[in-house]
């Protein structure tokens, strides 16, 4: 393990002399002109910063200026590759000390100039939490992980033990000290990661998509801890996240980035009352790629129906505010009963003949620890199904059994009336395509074109047939211009589309997608799901999505399967799933805000035909109809 | 999600779990010295029984654990025993199998060698199952004065082995759904390795750089020394174990040197 050491001369000088001392009590060696001019309540003061990674010519950050006051809770949004993670790495000196490159402009954090301060000196000021808990947790026992930073800072053992206890207590993991990291859930691991930086009592907490790998229950745990930290301890928080529904009402400020620039900076209400635009060259334009809270999307849609612009002051950020926003129109004098909502166009599963049947499937690695027990269901052509459940509930295992990557202990799987156990890997993969969560794992060649052709080649297709089909698929996934590039050189969104394309080319009847929207911005997620919808239209492909994303389920799925503790708890339409409070709690799911909003409105206006719905536009249409008369 | 590896630390409360890592290291080394110092079957048998006693009683490993982790080695040792017994030269015929002579010397030597290999595997299992790699790393720093950066490098290497194993399994599964069939030929194996290498390398580099950032952000490497909360210390029972083991090794090798015992089977007659 090579640890790159800060190469600043003042750092080198201070190193050897402070063998057993605590962190330098004074920041003398880190004082800079920037500090002299920055007001003391500024946690972050960045002026005209541009940065390019070592060996790269293009700037990742372009003339960025940002001032964050102590106690703010800042959410940074933006598409993949916009420079948001790079900006975070600047905040504790990882850039430029570990990740070297060309840095221009002034940056000071907690009163210390980044350029002149070693990373270790930021350890007591800035806490960094990253996306992948397995990569950032160094130790194997919870207690050791929380003590790690203070041990490195040579603090006395008694103090470390006390701080460790406090930090674990704060994140609600009192009593977990002796547990092994490997026995914790994803949400618990991320809380340990937060406790591990809290032990040093930082003034600024920086988080890079901390909940991307977590189920909704784990995500809620993290956001609750962060809110408490910000409100009670006054810690400044800067966070990159895609999950805006649960954050919009908790943060005090939203930054939107695009192509290395901050293109929007304002309150959440201001941010989400803007129109999304594909072009963001000028300032104060919200990029099309940004996720908006559903409450805001609903208000914007309703505003459209009523022909009234929604200003920042009245923009709702959460369910309660959205209900009040809608009630304003429903309560207006002259409001009449809206017409019954049009029935959803999604068809139910019942009318489709099954082509894949799963009968009493059980599986486990250890005899007494079943991962799946007696799972039975069938899939019809052209269905779009969401497979939901907590992390570790057995969703991925089930999908792997379908592909016969693992063999079930009991039960049968029939694919077009053939037992999957009797089919070879190539026969199954011609029928079922499986897009793994990490597209990199599936690439087997050095070139995009070869990658798509691979499945056809191993099945001995004729050269001209291969040429034709690869060309067609490259068009569908919009990757033709990269046909000669290495798959690993593409962006995450492109790699994911390529991984879908490699499956698509075999025209499978079933496509399994493992967490298709993780880490994807709004536009890319829509593109991918739009692609799935087109496949369904064109080839009647069945799509099975393993997902935690309740908005994805609400918007796209026409059927949901819920697994909890290895058992199939639910099989039915998503609306029925979200209506079942106990099921939602048991499976660690959340309901999408639009469902909560429509449910609250239906309860508030029992005489109206308003009903709980998953369609934002359906609800906006129903209410807009009355509003148009009263506006 | 998947079955965990047998040669991996598991927390426990046995006598051996409570010993400090260095004492266990001394025990492991002493067993190895004794095993290599004795080519006589009955001495090896005594050592094997002692290690089995340690595994079942002092480390409280279950019979299933020991069987599962070592059966493959046991089979190898057994075939080693048969081959050596049949092929090594000797002068005293102990008995005959289907008229084929089995010599006392070769049988004894073969049994000793087979037991030696098994003893070493078994003692390593006891050591690995009862010793937290992190504690071992800390003991190396606090008791053996190894620089902590080196000790942590060693610890992290052990810590990420299971992660890499998982990743390889995942890549294999991910590629199998592409229609990649496992190859048997040498050339096929090489191209298969190449296919795994790229995703594994990309993933590992990403993880490693994340680990570096996570460690540096928490001041790892900032000072020449660091505090260790709960550094393992040698206990009275640890001192006793070390003393007994050292005494045994010294006694055996002194006896060998003075000719009181022989490292090879010597017929008295």
Rg (CA), chain B: 24
- How confident is residue B33, by pLDDT bands cut at 50, 70 and 90? very high
Residue A427: its H or E element: helix A425-431
From the list A89, A118, A37, the residue with the least C-alpha distance to A238 is A89
Partner-chain contact A426 B228, CB within 8 Å: no
Task: Count contacts between A and B (CB, < 8 Å).
Answer: 190
Q: Which residues of A touch B152 (CB under 8 A)?
A: 1
- pLDDT at residue A336 in the model: 56
Structure tokens at A93: 């000196």
- pLDDT at residue B266 in the model: 58
- pLDDT at residue A13 in the model: 35
Best interface-test mutation with A: which of B159, B216, B226, B228 has the largest number of A CBs within 10 A? Answer: B216
Query: In this structure, are residues B192 and B171 in contact, taking their beta carbons and an 8 Å threshold?
Result: no
Query: In this structure, are residues A114 and A32 in contact, taking their beta carbons and an 8 Å threshold?
Result: no
Write down the mean pLDDT value for chain A.
84
Q: Which residues of B touch A137 (CB under 8 A)?
A: 214
- pLDDT at residue A465 in the model: 92
Mean pLDDT, range A372-393, rounded to an integer: 90
Partner-chain contact A154 B227, CB within 8 Å: yes
Q: What is the C-alpha separation between B102 and B92, in angstroms, rounded?
A: 8
- How confident is residue A437, by pLDDT bands cut at 50, 70 and 90? confident
How close A478 gets to chain B, by Cα (Å)? 21
Q: Which residues of A touch B208 (CB under 8 A)?
A: 1
Partner-chain contact B219 A161, CB within 8 Å: no
Q: Which residues of A touch B213 (CB under 8 A)?
A: 89, 94, 98, 128, 130, 136
From the list A279, A277, A314, A308, the residue with the least C-alpha distance to A295 is A314
Partner-chain contact B202 A15, CB within 8 Å: no
Partner-chain contact B213 A130, CB within 8 Å: yes
pLDDT in tens, A205-219: 999 988 887 888 888
Give the closest of A20, A161, A454 to B229, CB-based: A161
Mean pLDDT, range A53-66, rounded to an integer: 91
How close A44 gets to chain B, by Cα (Å)? 17
Residue carrying the six token digits 């046995």: B14
pLDDT in tens, A142-175: 999 999 999 999 999 999 999 999 999 988 888 8
From the list A455, A382, A387, the residue with the least C-alpha distance to A425 is A455
Give the closest of A1, A18, A157 to B229, CB-based: A157
Q: Which residues of B touch A120 (CB under 8 A)?
A: 216, 219, 221-222
How close B69 gets to chain A, by Cα (Å)? 15
How close B136 gets to chain A, by Cα (Å)? 13
Partner-chain contact B179 A426, CB within 8 Å: yes
From the list A110, A107, A133, the residue with the least C-alpha distance to A123 is A110
Confirm or reject contact between B194 and chain A (CB < 8 A). Answer: no
Q: Which of residues 87-146 of B touch A (CB under 8 A)?
A: 132-134
Tell how strand A101-109 and strand B100-103 pair up: unpaired
Give the closest of A98, A123, A139 to B213, CB-based: A98
Partner-chain contact A94 B171, CB within 8 Å: no
Q: Long-range contacts of range A581-589, CB-CB < 8 Å, 24 or more positions apart?
A: A587/A388, A587/A389, A587/A390, A587/A393, A587/A562, A587/A563, A588/A215, A588/A216, A588/A217, A588/A218, A588/A389, A588/A390, A588/A564, A589/A215, A589/A216, A589/A217, A589/A388, A589/A548, A589/A550, A589/A562
- How confident is residue B5, by pLDDT bands cut at 50, 70 and 90? low
Structure tokens at A308: 């009234």
| Chain B residue with the nearest C-alpha to that of A460 | B179
pTM of the model: 0.81
Q: Which residues of A touch B223 (CB under 8 A)?
A: 15, 18-20, 152-154
Q: Which residues pair with A570 in a beta bridge?
A: A562
Mean pLDDT, range B91-105, rounded to an integer: 85
Q: What is the C-alpha separation between B213 and A588, in angstroms, rounded?
A: 31
Query: How distant, in Å, are the alpha carbons of A113, A364, A541 from that of A373?
Result: 58, 9, 28
Q: Is the pLDDT of residue A482 over 70?
A: yes
Mean pLDDT, range A548-568, rounded to an integer: 91
Q: What is the C-alpha separation between A94 and A630, in angstroms, rounded?
A: 57
Q: Is A510 exposed, middle or buried (0-12, 13-18, 19+ CB in 10 A)?
A: buried
Confirm or reject contact between B267 and chain A (CB < 8 A). Answer: no
Q: Which residues pair with B254 in a beta bridge?
A: none
Q: Long-range contacts of range A344-353, CB-CB < 8 Å, 24 or more positions apart?
A: A344/A575, A344/A613, A344/A614, A344/A615, A344/A618, A346/A558, A346/A573, A347/A558, A348/A558, A348/A559, A348/A573, A349/A380, A349/A383, A349/A385, A349/A558, A349/A559, A352/A380, A352/A381, A352/A382, A352/A383, A353/A380, A353/A381
Confirm or reject contact between B197 and chain A (CB < 8 A). Answer: no
**Residue partners of A103: CB distance under 8 A and separation at least 6:** A49, A50, A51, A90, A95, A96, A115
Partner-chain contact B11 A455, CB within 8 Å: no
Residue A506: its H or E element: none
Query: In this structure, are residues B261 and B255 in contact, taking their beta carbons and an 8 Å threshold?
Result: yes
- How confident is residue A235, by pLDDT bands cut at 50, 70 and 90? very high
Query: In this structure, are residues A235 and A197 in contact, taking their beta carbons and an 8 Å threshold?
Result: no
- How confident is residue A621, by pLDDT bands cut at 50, 70 and 90? confident
Confirm or reject contact between B6 and chain A (CB < 8 A). Answer: no
- pLDDT at residue B129 in the model: 92
Partner-chain contact A434 B177, CB within 8 Å: yes
Q: Which residues of B touch A440 (CB under 8 A)?
A: 199, 202-203
Q: Which residues pair with A49 in a beta bridge?
A: A64
Render A453-502 in DSSP notation, one character per residue: HHHHHTTT--HHHHHHHHHHHHHHTT-GGGTTS-GGGS-HHHHHHHHHHH
Q: What is the number of residues in chain B?
A: 269
Partner-chain contact A138 B215, CB within 8 Å: yes
Partner-chain contact A19 B221, CB within 8 Å: no
Residue predicted with more confidence, A14 or B165 = B165
H-only helix segments in A307-421: 319-330, 395-402
Q: Is the pLDDT of residue A2 over 60?
A: no
ipTM of the complex: 0.79
Q: Is the pLDDT of residue A496 over 60?
A: yes
Q: Which of residues 34-93 of B touch A (CB under 8 A)?
A: none
Partner-chain contact B222 A130, CB within 8 Å: no
Best interface-test mutation with B: which of A12, A122, A140 has the largest number of B CBs within 10 A? Answer: A140
Give the closest of A20, A147, A436 to B174, CB-based: A436
How close A5 gets to chain B, by Cα (Å)? 8
Q: What is the C-alpha separation between A348 and A264, in angstroms, rounded?
A: 42
Partner-chain contact B214 A128, CB within 8 Å: yes
Q: Which residues of A touch B198 (CB under 8 A)?
A: 443, 488
Q: What is the C-alpha separation between A11 and A29, in angstroms, rounded?
A: 8
Q: Which residues of A touch B218 (CB under 8 A)?
A: 123, 148-149, 152, 196-197, 200
Partner-chain contact B218 A397, CB within 8 Å: no
Partner-chain contact B207 A135, CB within 8 Å: yes
Give the closest of A20, A130, A164 to B225, CB-based: A20
| Chain B residue with the nearest C-alpha to that of A366 | B3
Partner-chain contact B220 A3, CB within 8 Å: yes
pLDDT in tens, B219-257: 998 899 899 988 888 899 999 999 999 999 999 999 988
Partner-chain contact A400 B216, CB within 8 Å: no
From the list A411, A383, A384, the residue with the least C-alpha distance to A397 is A411
Q: Which residues of A touch B133 (CB under 8 A)?
A: 140
How close B234 gets to chain A, by Cα (Å)? 19
From the list A78, A2, A75, A87, the residue with the least C-alpha distance to A50 is A87
A336 C-beta neighbours (distance < 10 Å), count? 10
Mean pLDDT, range A301-317, rounded to an integer: 88
- pLDDT at residue A333 in the model: 66
């Amino acid at each position: 393990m090579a640890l790159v050491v800060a190469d600043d001369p003042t750092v080198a000088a201070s190193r050897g002399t402070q063998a057993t001392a605590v962190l330098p009590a004074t920041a003398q060696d880190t004082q800079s002109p920037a500090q002299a001019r920055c007001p003391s309540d500024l946690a972050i003061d960045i002026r005209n910063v541009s940065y390019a990674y070592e060996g790269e010519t293009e700037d990742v950050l372009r003339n960025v200026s940002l001032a964050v006051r102590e106690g703010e809770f800042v959410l940074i949004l933006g598409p993949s590759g916009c420079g948001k993670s790079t900006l975070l790495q600047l905040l504790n000196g990882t850039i430029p000390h570990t990740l070297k490159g060309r840095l221009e402009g002034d940056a000071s954090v907690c009163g210390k100039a980044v350029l002149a301060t070693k990373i270790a000196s930021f350890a007591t000021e800035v806490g960094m939490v990253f996306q992948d808990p397995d990569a950032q947790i160094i130790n194997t026992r919870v207690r050791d992980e929380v003590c790690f930073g203070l041990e490195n800072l040579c603090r006395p053992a008694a103090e470390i033990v006390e701080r460790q206890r406090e930090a674990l207590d704060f994140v609600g993991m009192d009593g977990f000290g002796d547990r092994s990291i490997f026995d914790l859930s994803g949400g618990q691991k991320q809380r340990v990661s937060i406790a591990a930086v809290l032990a040093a009592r930082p003034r600024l907490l920086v988080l890079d998509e901390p909940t991307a790998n977590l189920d909704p229950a784990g995500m809620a745990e993290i956001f609750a801890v962060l809110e408490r930290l910000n409100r009670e301890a006054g810690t400044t928080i800067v966070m990159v996240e895609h999950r805006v529904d649960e954050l919009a009402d908790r943060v005090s400020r939203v930054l939107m980035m695009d192509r290395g620039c901050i293109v929007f900076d304002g309150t959440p209400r201001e941010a989400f009352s803007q129109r999304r635009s594909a072009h963001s060259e000028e300032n104060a334009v919200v990029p099309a790629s940004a996720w908006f809270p559903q409450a805001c999307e609903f208000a914007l849609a309703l505003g459209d129906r009523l022909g009234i612009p929604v200003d920042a002051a009245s923009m709702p950020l959460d369910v309660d505010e959205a209900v009040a926003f809608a009630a304003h129109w429903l309560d207006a004098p002259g409001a009449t009963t809206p017409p019954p909502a049009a029935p959803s166009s999604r068809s139910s599963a019942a009318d489709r003949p099954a082509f894949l049947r799963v009968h009493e499937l059980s599986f486990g690695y250890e005899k007494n620890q079943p991962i799946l027990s007696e799972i039975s269901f069938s899939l019809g052509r052209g269905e779009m199904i969401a497979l939901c459940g907590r992390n570790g509930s057995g969703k991925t295992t089930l999908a792997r059994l379908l592909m016969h990557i693992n063999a079930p202990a009991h039960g049968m799987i029939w694919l077009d009336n053939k037992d999957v156990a009797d089919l070879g890997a190539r026969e199954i993969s011609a029928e079922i395509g499986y897009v793994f969560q990490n597209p990199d794992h599936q690439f087997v060649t050095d070139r995009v074109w070869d990658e798509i052709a691979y499945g056809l080649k191993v099945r001995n297709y004729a050269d001209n047939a291969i040429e034709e089909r690869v060309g067609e698929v490259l068009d569908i996934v919009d990757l033709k211009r990269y046909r000669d590039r290495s798959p690993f050189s593409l962006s995450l969104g492109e790699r994911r589309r390529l991984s879908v394309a490699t499956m698509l080319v075999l025209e499978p009847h079933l496509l399994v997608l493992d967490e298709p929207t993780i880490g994807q911005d709004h536009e890319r997620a829509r593109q991918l799901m739009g692609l799935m919808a087109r496949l369904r239209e064109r080839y009647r492909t069945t799509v099975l999505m393993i997902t935690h994303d309740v908005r994805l389920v609400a918007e796209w799925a026409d059927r949901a399967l819920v697994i909890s503790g290895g058992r199939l708890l639910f099989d039915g339409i998503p609306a029925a799933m979200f209506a079942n409070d106990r099921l939602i709690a048991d499976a660690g799911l959340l309901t999408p805000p639009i469902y909560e909003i429509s449910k609250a409105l239906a309860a508030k206006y029992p005489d109206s035909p308003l009903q709980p719905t998953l369609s934002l536009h359906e609800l906006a249409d129903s209410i807009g109809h009355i509003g148009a008369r009263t506006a | 999600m998947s079955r965990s590896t047998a040669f991996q630390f598991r927390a426990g409360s046995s006598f051996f779990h409570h010993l400090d890592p260095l004492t266990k290291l001394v025990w492991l080394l002493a067993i190895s010295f004794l095993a290599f110092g004795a080519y006589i079957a009955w001495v090896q048998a005594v050592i094997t029984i002692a290690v089995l006693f340690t595994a079942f009683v002092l480390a409280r490993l279950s019979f299933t654990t020991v069987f599962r982790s070592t059966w493959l080695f046991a089979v190898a040792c057994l075939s080693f025993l048969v081959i050596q017994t049949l092929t090594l030269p000797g002068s005293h015929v102990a008995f005959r199998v289907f008229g084929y002579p089995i010599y006392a010397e070769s049988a004894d030597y073969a049994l000793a060698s087979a037991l030696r290999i098994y003893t070493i595997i078994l003692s390593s299992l006891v050591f690995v199952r009862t010793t937290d790699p992190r504690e071992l790393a800390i003991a190396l720093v606090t008791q053996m004065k190894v620089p902590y950066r080196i000790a942590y490098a060693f610890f992290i290497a052990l810590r990420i082995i299971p992660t890499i194993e998982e990743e390889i399994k995942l890549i294999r599964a991910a590629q199998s759904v592409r229609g990649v069939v496992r190859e048997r030929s040498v050339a096929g194996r090489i191209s298969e390795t190449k296919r795994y290498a790229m995703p594994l390398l990309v993933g590992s580099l990403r993880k490693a750089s994340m680990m570096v950032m996570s460690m540096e952000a928490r001041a790892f490497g900032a000072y020449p020394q660091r505090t260790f909360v709960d550094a393992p210390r040698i206990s009275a029972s640890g001192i006793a174990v070390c003393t007994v083991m050292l005494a045994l090794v010294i006694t055996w090798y002194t006896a060998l040197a003075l000719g009181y015992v022989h490292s090879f089977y010597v017929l008295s007659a």
